[in-house]
Structures are given as structure tokens and as C-alpha cells.
Amino acid sequence: MNAPEVFDQDDDGVVVLLRAEPDERDHEAVRTAGDLCPSASVVLQED
């Protein structure tokens, strides 16, 4: 699991968002999670 501070999985393997606004130090891991997400449902939007 990429970005474990931001994402987790429930017992069925469904990804659960832990923090909608991750710390800047987690942005690279969130980008990697987005790159690897097969459904392209993970996106890091920076203001």
C-alpha cells in the first residue's frame, strides 16, 4: 500500500481514505499511489 498515512484497506480490500488533505511530506507517495491505481481514482490536486 502506497502512502499508508493517507490510505488503508478494509477487510474486503477496498481502499479507504484516511486523510483527504495529506501533509506535504506525503505528496510524493500519493502521486505514486495515483500512478499505480488501476482505476485512476487517486488524484493529488495541489492549490
pLDDT, one tens digit per residue, over 1-47 is 789 999 999 999 889 999 999 999 999 999 999 999 888 888 888 87
Range of the domain at 42: 1-47
CA nearest neighbour of 1 among 12, 15, 11 = 15
Q: What is the pLDDT of residue 13?
A: 86
Count structural domains, the chain. Answer: 1
Place of cell 492549490: 47
Residue with cell 490510505: 7
Q: Which residues of 26-45 are buried (b: 16+ CB within 10 A; e: fewer)?
A: beebbbebeeeeeeeebebe
